[in-house]
């Protein structure tokens, strides 16, 4: 068997040799044996795994679930369980598509807010855990938003339970998407307070992150573009894992 050097793996994957060494240290590549002189002996399987890891970590994400999902795929594959990694990759694709749907829905809400028009509301009222599930966040995150004034939820006068209406759900989707688009909670609160006061103009001056030259619609639209790229990347990971499994079966 012809073995590859660290420089060979780095060049083929379009990475720096130090990145290869870090990926070994972090568990993103399988253990690499050394020869009698101490040089690492990489195989084609190491190269395939390196290419998979490079593809997986090509983009940076603000949503923790997506980052965690990608890391899980890579480490599972590095441990040799390609079938499980493939299952995780399919789940990852579903996760990205749900995030994309949330972002697209939030953009519609934002555009209506800025134009001063309202969306039609459904009559259904949800409980806190139901509302969190619909938006794809944890109950703890929702509580944090409420404590920081991003979400104000009325209570049922009869039983005291919080009532999450469609309008509040829409607001939650906007907050979630803007958080994903790098807006700070303080910036989002400023924007929400400004809109709640009936103002729609000069939102760029009210919200100062992620950049002074970006308004909320532009930044949200850019986040959607990033998610579309992430969706494409997820499909590529599935294809790469399927090829790695096919190679293994031929041996």
CATH (domain of 109): 1.10.1660.10
Highest mean pLDDT among 60-74, 157-171, 184-198, 232-246: 232-246
Instruction: Indicate whether 4 pLDDT > 70.
Output: yes
* Per-residue model confidence as pLDDT tens digits over 136-157: 889 999 999 999 888 989 888 8
Do 37 and 112 lie in one domain? The reply is: no
pLDDT score, position 133 = 92
Task: Report whether pLDDT(1) > 80.
Answer: no
Q: Is residue 210 part of a domain?
A: yes
Residues spanned by the domain of 213: 99-221
Q: 29 and 115 share a domain?
A: no
Model confidence at 84, pLDDT cuts 50, 70, 90, reads very high
Q: Alpha carbon of 121 to those of 37, 131, 159, 170, 249: distances in Å?
A: 71, 15, 23, 10, 54
CA–CA separation, 32 and 29 (whole Å): 8
**Quick one: 107 and 201 in the same domain?**
yes
Helix/strand/coil percentages in the chain, nearest 5: 65, 5, 30
Residue 186's pLDDT is what?
A: 81
* Number of separate domains in the chain: 2
Say if residue 112 is in the same domain as residue 39.
no
The mean per-residue pLDDT over the stretch 174-180 comes to 82
Together in a domain, 121 and 210: yes
Mean of per-residue pLDDT scores for the chain: 85
Query: Token pair of 42, please?
Result: 């990489």
Instruction: Indicate if the pLDDT at residue 26 is higher than 60.
Output: yes
Instruction: Establish if 125 belongs to a structural domain.
Output: yes
pTM (predicted TM-score): 0.75
CA separation (Å) from 96 to 20, 84, 134, 187? 27, 18, 15, 25
Q: Are residues 116 and 188 in the same domain?
A: yes
Q: What is the pLDDT of residue 25?
A: 95
Contact 150, 196 (CB under 8 A): no
List phi, psi (to 5°) of 34. -120, 150
107 vs 169, which has greater pLDDT?
A: 169
CA dist 109 and 103 (Å) reads 10
Upstream peptide bond of 55 is cis (omega within 30 degrees of 0): no
- CB contact at 8 A, 151 and 168: yes
DSSP string covering 108-160, please?
A: HHHHHHHHT--PPPPS--B-HHHHHHHHT--HHHHHHHHHTTS----B-TTT-
C-alpha to C-alpha distances, 65 to 11, 95, 192, nearest whole angstrom? 31, 8, 25
DSSP 26: H
pLDDT band at 160, cuts 50/70/90? confident
| Interatomic CA distance for residues 14 and 211, integer angstroms | 31
64 within a domain of the structure (yes/no): no
Q: Quickly count: other Cβ atoms within 10 Å of residue 59's Cβ.
A: 14
**Does 199 reside within a domain?**
yes
Burial class for 166, CB neighbours closer than 10 Å (0-12, 13-18, 19+): middle
Q: Are residues 107 and 43 in the same domain?
A: no
């Amino acid at each position: 068997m012809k073995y590859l050097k660290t420089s060979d793996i780095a060049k083929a994957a379009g990475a720096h040799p130090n990145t290869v060494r870090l990926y070994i240290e972090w568990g993103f590549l399988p253990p690499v044996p050394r020869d009698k002189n101490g040089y690492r002996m990489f195989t084609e399987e190491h190269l395939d795994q390196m290419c998979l890891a490079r593809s997986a970590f090509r983009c940076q994400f603000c949503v923790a679930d997506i980052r965690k999902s990608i890391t899980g795929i890579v480490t599972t594959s590095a441990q040799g369980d390609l079938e499980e990694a493939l299952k995780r990759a399919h789940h990852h694709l579903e996760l990205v598509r749900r995030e994309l749907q949330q972002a697209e829905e939030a953009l519609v809400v934002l555009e209506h807010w800025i134009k001063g028009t309202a969306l039609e509301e459904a009559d259904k009222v949800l409980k806190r855990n139901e509302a969190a599930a619909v938006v794809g966040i944890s109950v703890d995150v929702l509580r944090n938003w409420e404590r920081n004034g991003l979400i104000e939820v009325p209570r049922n006068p009869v039983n005291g339970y919080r009532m999450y209406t469609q309008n509040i759900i829409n607001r939650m989707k906007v907050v979630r998407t803007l958080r994903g688009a790098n807006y700070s909670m303080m910036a989002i609160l400023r924007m929400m307070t400004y809109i709640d006061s009936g103002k729609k103009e000069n939102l760029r001056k009210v919200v100062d992150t992620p950049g002074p030259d970006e308004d909320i619609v532009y930044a949200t639209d850019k986040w959607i573009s990033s998610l579309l790229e992430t969706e494409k990347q997820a499909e590529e990971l599935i294809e790469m894992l399927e090829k790695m499994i096919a190679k293994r079966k031929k041996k």
